[in-house]
Every structure is written in structure tokens, then in C-alpha cells.
Amino acid sequence: MESSYKKLFENNKKWVAEMTQQDPNYFLDLAKGQTPEYLWIGCSDSRVPANEITGTKPGEMFVHRNIANMVVHNDLNLLSVLAYAVDVLKVKHIIVCGHYGCGGVEAAMGNKQFGLIDNWLRNIKEVYRTHTEELSAIDDRKERLRRFVELNVAEQVLDLGKTTIVQNAWQRDQPLHIHGWVYDIADGIVKDLGVTFRDADELPEVFRFNEPIAI
């Protein structure tokens, strides 16, 4: 018990020594502030670490992770991260990255109860409902799960576009692209799903807002 925990402090000491040896000002420079160009919305799964996958260093990526990389419109945590990333940090790209073999998406595809988490997974079931025709036509369960993972990412990208935060950035001509990716745990490769939004014109009409209210 103790050794698995203490190992983390030992690792930290080694890391600090390594980084300082490479660049004596490494931590002093990072302490000055952050100007990341990317916001990452990924799964909490321990096998999908945002920085390692994308070769980005501390300071380069603002990160939000939850089970099954969801953009839930009343999740105050997600909305706060999104608002800070867009309004203050002015990130250029938001990436929703799902992954094949996602336990959350798989659980949402079945009918078993898991407890409190079922209330979170319900949001993913809504994606299934929206795409029932396509998904139920796939006989192979593994293939259906892979497609469900992809469609879930695409829906979360759309959900980002529906927010006033993203739309107001577009209204003020702030460059902001929102992307959907899938990561394959089995080979480490990231795939762009080609569901990028760059403008409110690409949204279904009912979700488009006019200019923000005057305060």
C-alpha cells in the first residue's frame, strides 16, 4: 500500500531533476502563466492521457476529462472550463477526443444497472436514440460499439457548438474550431472524424443564436 503511493513522490523528484537539468528556467517560465492553444475534452480513462498522445508539454493544452468525454449542457464544471478556455485563454481549437473500447459508451449500450453512474450514462443513451437506425443495423457488437463511440464524439462536438460560449466567440470573430477525434488504445493512433465546426452557419438552424444580449 505505502510503496505504491510513495513511488509517486519519488517519480516527482526525478522528474523535477530531469526537467531542471534540461532547462534551468523550466519551472520559472511555466510559473509566469499559460497560453495554451488547445482545449482537450477527453475521457477519464487512464489509458488516454492528453499530453502524451499529442506530444504536448505542460502549458500547451487546457484539459477537461470526464467519463466518456461528454459535453453535458448543464455540467457547471464543463461550462466553467469551456468559458475560461474560450473567453480568457482564447484557445484556437477545442478537441473532443473519444476512444475505442470506452467503458462508459459500452455501458450505455447495454441495459445493466451500474448505480449512480447510470444518470451520467443516460446522456450517452440519448446519442444512441438519435442514431438508433444506423447503430441497430450493425450486427457485429464490436463494430456497433466502435461506431457508437464515433457518433458520441460527433454529438459532443455539436453540443459544444450549441453553447452560447462558443457561439459568442464566433459572433466576435474569434477564431475557434471545434473538432472530433477518436483514439485507438490498441495502436495509439488518433483519427480525425471530420466533424469540425468553424462557424455557427454549420449548426442546425434551431440552435443558432443572434448576437448576445446587451447587459
Residues designated as active site? 43, 45, 47, 99, 102
Nearer to Co ion (CB atom), residue 67 or residue 176: 67
| Comparison of 6 and 47: residue with beta carbon closer to Co ion | 47
| Minimum CB–partner distance for residue 50 and Co ion (Å) | 13
Q: How far apart are CA 114 and CA 161, in angstroms?
A: 31
Measured over the CA atoms of residue 79, residue 203, residue 63 and residue 103, the dihedral's sign is positive
Contact 81, 142 (CB under 8 A): no
Rounded least distance, CB 154 to Co ion, Å? 16
Dist CA 26 CA 179 (whole Å): 31
Task: Give the nearest distance from C-beta 23 to Co ion in angstroms.
Answer: 34
**Strand (E) positions, the chain?**
38-43, 61-66, 93-99, 177-183, 190-192
Q: Which three cell numbers stand for residue 68?
A: 466518456
CB of 189 to Co ion, least distance (A): 16
Half-sphere exposure of 20 (CA within 13 A, CB side): 8
Cell of 38: 488547445
Q: How far is the CB of 60 from Co ion (least distance, A)?
A: 23
Which of helix, strand or coil describes residue 63? strand
Greatest distance between any 2 Cα atoms in the chain: 58
Side chain identity at residue 77, one-letter code: N
**Which residues in this chain contact Co ion in the complex, by CB under 5 A?**
43, 45, 102
- Residue 126's identity, in one-letter code, is E
Among 160, 139, 148, residue whose Cα is nearest residue 83: 160
